[in-house]
Each structure stands twice: as structure tokens, then as C-alpha cells.
Amino acid sequence: MSIQRILLLITCSVFFIVSSGSATEQEFDSKKMLSELETKLDLSEKKLSQLEPTIQSKSKELKKSIHGAVGKGFMELDELNSKLGEVSKDAQKKVKDFLNGEEMSQLKEYFKKIDRDAMIAVKERLVADISKALELTEQQIQELKPVLEESFTQLSTMVTQLAKNGSESWDEFKRQYEQFSNELREKLQNSLDDEQMKKLDKYNEEKKNKIHMVMFSA
């Protein structure tokens, strides 16, 4: 592999990781959220001031949930969706005394949207993670992003089932994971070179070990 290609791969991967992380920080920034709500709900300065601590708390929890899922390297959709939903319900309880019915309805819809955006952000960060591991070019990232996102959704379903069944289902999970890995290889093999395929095998094996560690470590 030429020096020029190596530099291009590194540049593209780093740019994608940094851009994705920065986008998350900006998308769920409390000031941005407040600005959007001010416009959407047409709030007075007093109500906006009363709402600010709740939105700051919501922003913090969104970022924490996203970073937590990305830190594990996989997501449990049901758990993440439930957690975000509970945070939104708690936030609504804190503001119901000073927002009217229409404002509460608008806020509820906004929270639903922002929670969906958070789920999307997790997938994007996970795609950025595997893109870095495989040293994908920008063209490869754009081409393979739908496949990679779908693979993380599929893996999430498997991990959720593993969490429900417990450690006794680990052997069954390993069987499913091997099939999952093989199918992913088939989907990517025409787009990756030999070196990237080796990196994919390593990535999948490390992912399996990490899932076991996260799910069953004391």
C-alpha cells in the first residue's frame, strides 16, 4: 500500500470520527435545544428561563447515553430507547406546572424527535468506529454506511436477546454471531481489499469478546 493511500485512509477516518463526535455535541447542545424550543413553543423569556435547567439535564443525559453506547461498541435498542424515554418523561414532569397544555404537547413531540435523533447518532458513531478500524475511504464509508447501520441494528437485537436470556444462552449467541459475521463478510467483501477484510475479521472477534465482557463481567 502506497504512502499516499495510507495518508488518505488515515485522513478520511479521522475526519469522519471527529466530525461525527462534534456533530453529536452540537446536535444535543442545551443552548441549541432551548433555541429550537423557544421558536417551536413561542415561549416567553420567563418560561424559557424556567425550562432551561430541565433542558440542560436532558442534554446531559442524551450525551451520556450516546457516549455510553458508543463506548461499549454496540447498542441495545430496547434498553436505550427505554432509558431515553424515561428521561423525557421525568423532564416533562418537571415543567408541567408552568407550561400550558399546548406547550406540553409540543414539548412531548420535540422530545420524541430528539430521542429518535439520539438513536440515529449512536448508529453514526458506531459506523465511524468500524470505519476507523477498517481504515475505510470516504467513498467506502458512503457506500457501505446503510449496510453497516443495518448490521448494528441486527446485532442490537441479538444482544438484547442475550441480555434477557443470560449467560446460559452465550453458546447460542456465539453461533448466531458467527452467522452474523459471515453474512457481514459476504456483504462487504466486494467493497473491501484483502487487508481490510482481515481487519474486519479482527474487529468482529474483538466485538464478540467485548460483548461478553460488558454483558457478564461482575
In which band, very low, low, confident or very high, does the pLDDT at 10 lie, cut at 50, 70 and 90?
very low
Percent of the chain with pLDDT over 90: 72
Domain containing 209: what range? Answer: 3-216
Model confidence pLDDT, tens digit, residues 53-102: 999 999 999 999 888 888 888 878 788 888 999 999 999 999 999 999 99
Model confidence pLDDT, tens digit, residues 89-118: 999 999 999 999 999 999 999 999 999 999
DSSP the chain: --HHHHHHHHHHHHHHHHHHHHHHHHHT-HHHHHHHHHHHHT--HHHHHHHHHHHHHHHHHHHHHHHHHHHHTS--HHHHHHHHHHHHHHHHHHHTTTS-HHHHHHHHHHHHHHHHHHHHHHHHHHHHHHHHHHT--HHHHHHHHHHHHHHHHHHHHHHHHHHHH-GGGHHHHHHHHHHHHHHHHHHHTTTS-HHHHHHHHHHHHHHHHHHHHHHH--
Report how many domains make up the chain.
1
Model confidence pLDDT, tens digit, residues 117-159: 999 999 999 999 999 999 999 999 999 999 999 999 999 999 9
